[in-house]
Amino acid sequence: MKKVGELSRNISQSVSPIAEQVGSNITSFTQYATEKIWASPDVTNLPLEFTSLENKIAFVKDFLKEFSKMGKHLIAVDSLFDYDSAKNQVQGIASNIGVKFMALASYGMNKENPTETEDRSSYLSLYQKLGRASIQESENVGLDIGLGNSLFKFGSIEENIGEYKKKQDTELLSRMVNNAEVYSNTKFENVIKANKHVHKLRLALDSAKASYKQISVEEKRRLAQDSISAQEKELEIKVTGSIREMRNLVQSPDLISLLIESASAMNEFYASSSSLLEDLKPELSSQPYR
In sequence order, the 6+-apart residues with CB closer than 8 A to the CB of 149 are 138, 143, 287
CA 270, distance to chain mean position in Å, is 22
Residue 70 pLDDT greater than 70, yes or no: yes
What is residue 269's predicted lDDT score, i.e. its pLDDT?
86
107: left (phi over 0), alpha (psi -120 to 50) or beta: beta
Q: How confident is residue 265, by pLDDT bands cut at 50, 70 and 90?
A: confident
> What mean pLDDT, rounded, does the chain reach?
76
Q: How far apart are CA 100 and CA 98, in angstroms?
A: 5
Q: How confident is residue 47, by pLDDT bands cut at 50, 70 and 90?
A: very high
Q: How far apart are CA 271 and CA 147, in angstroms?
A: 27
What is residue 237's predicted lDDT score, i.e. its pLDDT?
96
pTM of the model: 0.64
Q: How confident is residue 287, by pLDDT bands cut at 50, 70 and 90?
A: low
Average pLDDT value for residue range 73-90 = 57
Q: Residues 243-254: pLDDT tens digits?
A: 999 999 999 998
Per the model's pLDDT, the better-predicted residue between 64 and 89 turns out to be 64
What is residue 197's predicted lDDT score, i.e. its pLDDT?
95
Task: Tell me the domains of the chain and their CATH numbers.
Answer: 46-285 (1.20.1270.60)
What is residue 201's predicted lDDT score, i.e. its pLDDT?
94
Q: Residues 99-153: pLDDT tens digits?
A: 545 554 554 444 444 444 445 556 778 888 888 888 888 888 888 888 888 899 9
What is residue 25's predicted lDDT score, i.e. its pLDDT?
58
Per the model's pLDDT, the better-predicted residue between 117 and 43 turns out to be 43
- Asked if 172 contacts 265 with a C-beta cutoff of 8 angstroms, the reply is yes
